Amino acid sequence: MILNCIAVDDEPLALGLVCAFIEQTPFLKLTGRYSSAVEALVGLQDQKVDLIFLDIQMPNLNGIELARVLDSRGANKPRIIFTTAYNQFALEGYKVDALDYLLKPFNYEEFLHAANKALSYAELLQRSVNPAPAVAVEESRIEDDYLFLKIEYQLVRIALKDILYIEGLKDYVKIYLQSAEKPLLSLTSLKALEEKLPAKRFMRVHRSFIVSLDKINSITRNALQIGKINITVGDQYKEAFGVFLSKWV
C-alpha cells in the first residue's frame, strides 16, 4: 500500500527535512509541499491525500485549525501527523484525532515509527471496507470478538471478553479490563461506544456506565456489583435492566 502525503511547514529547513524523510520511505509518496496551512487547504481541493505531516505554529491558519476544518470531511478526511517544536499542543492534537505527534527535532527513526502507525491504520481501514471472503467464516467471527479503539495516538485491539465495564467522562471513556490494573483512556463518547458493542453482551445501566453482563458478580433492583465496584442503575435504564434482572430470579 502506498500513502499519498503532503508536508506543511512555514520553516523551509523543517519542510525540506520532512519531505526528504517522506521520499526515502518506500510506502509514502510525496504529492505536495506547502509553506502555509492556507496553501495546503487550497491544494487539498485538487488531489486525494491520505496523510499530512503538519506543523502547528503557522501564521493566518495554524495546524490545529486546519485539522478542525478537515475533520468536517468525516471518513474521507486525510489523516494527520503533527510536527511541532511545542509539546503543549499534544492534547489538542489528540482531540482532533491526529495519528501521532512528532516533537522537533526528530530523527528518521522517530519519523518512520509515526509513518508506520499511519500505514497500519490505512491497512486496517481497507480491511474494514473490503472484508475477507465469505469462506473465512471463522476468522470473521474472531474479529467480532474484538473492538478497535484509539488509545494515545494508536489503534488498540481490545478483546470484548476482557472488558469489565466502561465509564464515560465527557468526551472520554475509561475502559476497565480484567487483564490490566489501570483503565485505558480513549477519546470517544459513551454513546458512540455503546453503538459498537453487542447488546447481548453489554448494557448501559447509567448515563456514565456500560457494563459487561457476564462480569456481574451480584445484582439488586437498583444496583449491580462487578469485582469491588458497585454501580447504581440510572432511572432511565431501570426498565431495560429489569428485563435483564428477570432472568436472574
C-alpha cell at 8: 506543511
Q: In a 3-state reduction of DSSP, which class is residue 225?
A: strand
Tell me which of 18 and 246 has the higher pLDDT: 18
User: Which pLDDT score is estimated for 142?
Assistant: 35
Residues of the chain with CATH 3.40.50.2300: 3-129
Where exactly does CATH 2.40.50.1020 map onto the chain?
Answer: 152-245
CATH superfamily of 3-129: Response regulator (3.40.50.2300)
* CB-based contact 158:177 (threshold 8 Å): yes
Give the predicted TM-score (pTM) of the model.
0.57
Q: What is the pLDDT of residues 12-49, one digit of tens each?
A: 999 999 999 999 999 999 999 999 999 999 999 888 89
> Model confidence over 129-150: pLDDT tens digits?
555 444 443 333 334 688 888 7
- CATH number at 152-245: 2.40.50.1020
21 vs 126: CA distance, rounded Å: 25
- CA dist., res. 87 & res. 93, Å (int): 10
The residue among 211 and 140 whose pLDDT is bigger is 211
pLDDT exceeds 60 at position 234: yes
